[in-house]
Amino acid sequence: MIKKNFWQIIIGIGIFLSVFWAGKGLFKYSFYQTHDIARHLARSYDAIISIKEGQFPLRWSGLLNYNCGTPTFTFYFPGFYYLVAAIYPFVKSVMSAIKVVSFLSLLVGTLFFFLWMKEETKDKWAALAGSLLYLYAPYTFLLIYVRGSPEYLSFGVLPVVLYFYAKAFSAKGDLSFLTSCFLAAVTGGFLAISHNIVSLFIMPVILLYLLIKFWQSRGLKVHQIMLICFSFISAFGLGAFFIFPAFLEQKFTKLAIPIFNYQHHFPTLAQVIYSKWGFGDSAIGIVDDAMSFQLGFAQWAVLLLVAIWLIFNLVKKVPISKYIWVVVFWVLSLFFLYLVLPISIPFWQKVRFLQTIQFSWRLLGICVFTLSALFSFWIAGIKSKFLYWPILIGVVVLAFLGNRNHLLSQPVLESELSLYRDLDNLCLNCQKVPAFAETTLPSTASQSCFFTTPLVESGESRDKLLAQEITRGSTFGSIKLDINKDKLIGNQIILNLSYFPEIFHIKINEKDVPYEDCGGRVCVKTSDLDNGINNILWKVGETELERFFDLVSLSFFGTWVFILVYFLPKHKIK
């Protein structure tokens, strides 16, 4: 027992030190620069303010788009912003909160990958090696230090979900089984809202994992199978408040309009084997690419070594059932690698939903996951210590060495530091929009708002009207408008609010009034105004569709609470 605890402590310390070394670049500078960090700072700041104002779940980011607002949180992975908002009160800095979320994503992902693989393989060293391969991959550091994409949060949560499912299948008692199913459902729900694209591709992988586990665990009772299935469905149910509005309401925005041609951004096989590390962008073609698309030397080594091993086993006619997980994760790795490369373009043309991710190299993260799981399952099955230890140590060392130059961030330019410290201005400036910068603008908008956008203007002549802003938050505001209706041109006035149907509650002189879409901005009829002074109040709410799926998510959560409260004390699950 003492020896077992000793090695557990050593492994725990080793994982923490490995994560600390991988994430040290997060803390080198007070502010670091990535492709999207300014946008995430601005959105996070807005999320914190919106939650303080009582908006939950997050829908509207009213400080963006030069205070005209956009429905950013309806469409973009709110899980990340909820975490930042939760951590912010403890660190008192949005940048620090983002750093903590980034570091915890690395730590939690690595730790739970180890726990998941240990549960599956019963081999602590194979589990540790796989978790380090999962951590030390070029794409991981590309997400953290180059792109600044919250995809890394999804890859941090994924092993947690799988660990709880593994615990459910191996549970010996009712309490352990039910608790594991519940935690798998909750973490699966969080995975669903952590990143749209990653969850889209990861959920089928989790489903395949569960199907194989069902096949292997033939002693499960019917109610256990049903509860595990309900747990998987609950991931979509608990995340329904985000998943379904994000899909069904995108028609009101520019999200449905493709910005990049997916065929222009396939990396070559040579680039996936090795490409120079950089902090630039993915360019059209390959000549001007300024970021790395490499899979990782250690990851390639695993893929090739396992291929040789599989051929050897096929020749020896070893039953596939004895190494089913090796086959599954090797095939999955090849499949996702195929989707990354230009050879898969005909497949992308036929399966059109793939085109929505725009960059095939985004699937490298899933390749890293499947290859890491493959390595753990494979190395755990090697009985010869003369092969086991050299391969295990060699691959891990190669992973460390192959990423030694990928562990640092870029500092923010001195000339821009003041902007990063003043998040009110950053919220405005990050919306200067090149066309691709904010796709949640209304579908009818010809351009975003700007500094010069007036509080109120005439609907036809676009003349600026005499108005004073009394209050303004992210989710509410009030305006005092003084008009002479006889001199107004047209029958509408336009407010400095981006249009989105049903979401605004507008009152003029204490009377509820409807609003319309005027070129992507909110407008109201002049017939609802009085001559002279008018008090206009607006507040952000939710659409009927959003409220419905809020109830769906609450219903799933309530069902789980009922199951836990009713069954656990009485131990009725046998």
Does a structural domain hold residue 434? no
**Averaged pLDDT, 40-52:** 93
Residue 489 has pLDDT above 70, yes or no: yes
Does a structural domain hold residue 443? no
Residue 435 has pLDDT above 50, yes or no: no
Q: Work out the pLDDT band at 265, boundaries 50, 70, 90.
A: confident
pLDDT (tens digit, 9 = 90+) per residue, 508-534?
999 999 999 999 999 999 999 999 999
Question: Residue 90: exposed, middle, or buried by beta-carbon count in 10 A (0-12, 13-18, 19+)?
Answer: exposed
- 182: nearest Cα among 551, 568, 574, 550: 568
Q: Work out the pLDDT band at 3, boundaries 50, 70, 90.
A: low
**Averaged pLDDT, 342-350:** 93
Concatenated DSSP letters for 250-288?
Answer: GGGBGGGS--S-GGGGPPPHHHHH-----SS---SSSTT
Question: Do 462 and 392 share a structural domain?
Answer: no
Query: Alpha carbon of 566 to those of 215, 224, 352, 426: distances in Å?
Result: 30, 16, 45, 50
**Averaged pLDDT, 182-202:** 94
Tokens at 124, concatenated: 């602590």
Residue 436 has pLDDT above 60, yes or no: no
180/320: higher pLDDT: 180
438/503: higher pLDDT: 503
Q: How many domains does the chain have?
A: 2
Extended beta strands in 298-408, E state: none
pLDDT (tens digit, 9 = 90+) per residue, 549-558?
999 999 999 9
Question: Do 526 and 462 share a structural domain?
Answer: yes
- 67: nearest Cα among 538, 472, 535, 444: 472
Question: Do 376 and 475 share a structural domain?
Answer: no
Which of 108-122, 221-235, 283-297 is the least confident region? 283-297
**Averaged pLDDT, 239-248:** 96
Query: Alpha carbon of 340 to those of 267, 274, 345, 348, 560: distances in Å?
Result: 7, 14, 9, 10, 38
Give, in degrees to the nearest 5, the angle at Cα 305 between 301 and 308: 150
- Among 351, 379, 411, the domain-final residue is 411
Query: Alpha carbon of 57 to those of 51, 53, 103, 193, 440: distances in Å?
Result: 8, 12, 25, 12, 17
Does a structural domain hold residue 372? yes
Which of 135-144, 256-265, 323-332, 465-474 is the least confident region? 256-265
Does a structural domain hold residue 466? yes
Q: Work out the pLDDT band at 446, boundaries 50, 70, 90.
A: confident
Which of 32-41, 110-119, 237-246, 370-379 is the least confident region? 32-41
- 124: nearest Cα among 20, 3, 299, 302: 3
pLDDT at 188: 98
Residue 229 has pLDDT above 70, yes or no: yes
Does a structural domain hold residue 402? yes
Question: Do 277 and 166 share a structural domain?
Answer: yes
Number of Cβ within 10 Å of residue 317's Cβ equals 7
Place of tokens 């999200």: 255
Question: Do 472 and 373 share a structural domain?
Answer: no
**Averaged pLDDT, 500-512:** 95
Number of Cβ within 10 Å of residue 503's Cβ equals 24
Question: Do 368 and 499 share a structural domain?
Answer: no
pLDDT at 431: 46
SS3 label, residue 418: helix
pLDDT (tens digit, 9 = 90+) per residue, 392-415?
999 999 999 999 999 988 888 777
Helices (H) then strands (E): counts for the chain: 21, 11
**Averaged pLDDT, 335-347:** 95
Question: Do 372 and 510 share a structural domain?
Answer: no
Q: Are 535 and 508 in contact (CB under 8 A)?
A: yes
Helices (H), 122-195: 124-135, 138-141, 151-170, 174-194
Does residue 342 have a cis peptide bond before it, meaning omega lies within 30 degrees of 0? no
Question: Do 291 and 395 share a structural domain?
Answer: yes
Residue 286 has pLDDT above 80, yes or no: no
Does a structural domain hold residue 59? no
pLDDT at 434: 38
SS3 label, residue 359: coil
Question: Do 463 and 403 share a structural domain?
Answer: no
- Among 411, 441, 475, the domain-final residue is 411
pLDDT at 437: 47
Buried b / exposed e across 242-270, counting CB within 10 Å, b at 16+? bbbbbeebbebbbbeeeeeebeebbbeee
285/88: higher pLDDT: 88
Residue 573 has pLDDT above 70, yes or no: no
Question: Do 466 and 390 share a structural domain?
Answer: no
Does a structural domain hold residue 206? yes
pTM of model > 0.85: yes
- Among 411, 435, 467, the domain-final residue is 411
User: Which residues, at least 6 apart from 12, have a Cβ–Cβ distance to it below 8 Å?
Assistant: none
Determine the structural domain holding residue 135 and report its residue range: 2-30+77-411
Does a structural domain hold residue 104? yes
Question: Do 485 and 361 share a structural domain?
Answer: no
Residue 224 has pLDDT above 50, yes or no: yes
Question: Do 467 and 402 share a structural domain?
Answer: no
